Amino acid sequence: MPSRTPNFLFINVDQHRYDSMGHTSAGRVKTPNLDRLAESGMRFEKAFTPIPLCCPARQSLLCSQTPERHGGVTNYRSGQAVALFEPDRPLWTTALAEAGYRNAYLGKWHVHPDRTPLEYGFHEYVPENRFPYLRGGTLDWSDPRKIAALGAVDPGPLEGSWTHRMADACIQTLKPMLETGKPWHVRLDFPHPHLPCIPSEPFASMYQAKDLEPWGSFKDAFKNKPYIQKQQLRNWEMEDWGWKQWSQYVAQYFAVISQVDDAVGRVLSFLEEAGAMGETMAIYTADHGDMAGSHRMMDKHYVMYDDIVRVPLLVRWDGKIKAGSVDRGFTSHYLDLGPTALEAAGLPIPDTFQGASLFARMTGRGGKAAASVVSTYHGQQFGLYSQRMIRDRRYKLVWNLTDVDEFYDLQDDPWELKNLAVGKAHAALVARYQKKLFAELTRLKDPILSESAWMRRQLGTPGRKLERAAR
């Protein structure tokens, strides 16, 4: 048990790529405050989302269960039937409230279409619609390409922008909490850099499209890859886009990240000036990444590339977490952060939780990191399409239940361009990772194995998968 019970500042954002911070992009993206957070605490190099999709990921965060276990495998109101995530289950936020924490939630929710955080262990809630994204203008929603590439520039002053109004509201929420001396947990959930990207000045002019180099995967020809990847470009009506178009989006995407960084800096500076960082575990992370033109794709959906499954995870707790430390082990972060908070608070971890606490790893007390991580996907607004991924330091296997599998050597092919699952040359290695994935899905009690003999045979029996992708 820790010597003192920490407060929790949990800053969450929507769709932030791991490689889009200053310290992970060789300075390509300007995030001085996130860099300072990393330098003052611990950064996790291999944090992965359990699913690269907003609603089910956020639901997993609350209950520390995979989407397949809690049942919310797609976003609600997306054209697919989905089980709603009700609060009648063990949640770490509820456990904190029962232990005397004062919990507040500001910003994007995306856990239940009708219920609010007030039914999930929080005492205060300021919804995201209190912070409009665009003032004095409108977006043309008739063409998704315009939203992606053009977005908009917020014409108002930075002080009145959605990011900085959220930061100010967070500070106003924190002030009375600091005065009581009682433990608190504040969740600040920014709805961006998820598209459409609407930065304010001076950030809107910070990055010039002409100066940005293409991602290393930009020229992917989708050879021997699942049919849906090339089809996705047509679904978005972007199959003819070149880097000239995509660089406009990336410039705005980076601009919004830098603007969020500036807002985060305000909150951290407030706590520092209040002398509260020694009693506060500050966390910054995201639900998933953004393709942002990688493989010429928008948003997420239908793929398990690192662009969307690998996320930032920065944790600071002065006096407890060594400044500048780096954790290179794997974490399924949305499963692991709930148990981490409970252990840090000296509270029991429910048996229903599937995640593992990171507390020992954070505080230098050892702690065993997993050698690999699993992520899943079940389709979204373009129809159902189920996948399971296992990734370790060198290799990644993606089991596509209705198409060709994918297998990448991340050491030789970090941009995941060459699918080694097709053909015989790597058949033995692919089979070994199929067994690893089978074992992990069994451990996680994934119903695709426990309730479907057909799928269990497909993954667990050598030779039951097609070897060639559709041409």
pLDDT tops 50 at residue 3: no
Taking the C-alpha atoms of residue 149 and residue 196, their distance in angstroms, rounded to an integer, is: 8
What is the structure's pLDDT at 144? 66
Higher pLDDT, residue 147 or 378: 378
Please compute the mean of the pLDDT values over residues 263-287 and round it to a whole number.
97
Q: How confident is the model at residue 174 (pLDDT cuts 50, 70, 90)?
A: very high
Check residues 289 and 142 and name the one with the higher pLDDT: 289
Per-residue model confidence as pLDDT tens digits over 82-106: 778 999 999 999 999 999 999 999 9
Domain ranges for the chain: 7-371, 376-460
2: pLDDT strictly greater than 50: no
- In the DSSP assignment, the letter for residue 468 is S
CATH of 7-371, one of 3.30.70.580, 3.40.50.970, 3.40.720.10, 3.30.70.360: 3.40.720.10
Find how far residue 210's CA is from the centre of its chain. Answer: 28
Identify the pLDDT of residue 139. 67
Mean pLDDT value across residues 192-199: 92
Mean of the pLDDT values across residues 301-322? 96
**Could you tell me which of 87, 89, 62, 57 has the C-alpha nearest to residue 72?**
57
Q: pLDDT digit string (tens) for 26-57?
A: 999 999 999 999 999 999 999 999 999 999 99
Rounded to the nearest integer, the mean pLDDT of the chain is: 93
pLDDT digits (tens, 9 = 90+) for 443-454: 999 999 999 898
Please state, in angstroms and as integers, the Cα–Cα distance from residue 274 to each residue in 15, 178, 282, 421, following that order: 31, 8, 14, 55
How far apart are alpha carbons 252 and 210 in whole angstroms? 12
State yes or no: pLDDT of 372 exceeds 60.
yes
Q: Report whether pLDDT(471) > 50.
A: no
Mean pLDDT for 157-165 is: 94
Tokens of 110: 């995306």
For the segment 144-154, what is each residue's pLDDT rounded down to a tens digit? 677 666 678 88
Q: Which amino acid is at 412?
A: D
Residue 469 has pLDDT above 60, yes or no: no
Q: Can you give the pTM of this predicted structure?
A: 0.96
Q: Which backbone phi and psi does 152 adopt, to 5 degrees? A: -170, 165
Helix, coil or strand: residue 99: coil
Question: What 8-state DSSP symbol labels residue 121?
Answer: T
> Where in 84-183 does DSSP place strands (E)?
102-107, 124-127
Sequence-distant contacts of 98-101: CB under 8 A, at least 24 apart: 99/183, 99/345, 99/347, 100/182, 100/183, 101/8, 101/182, 101/183, 101/184, 101/185, 101/345
Count of CB atoms situated within 10 Å of the CB of 155: 13
CATH class as words, domain 376-460: alpha beta
Q: Peptide bond before 196: cis, by omega within 30 degrees of 0?
A: yes
pLDDT score of 82: 76
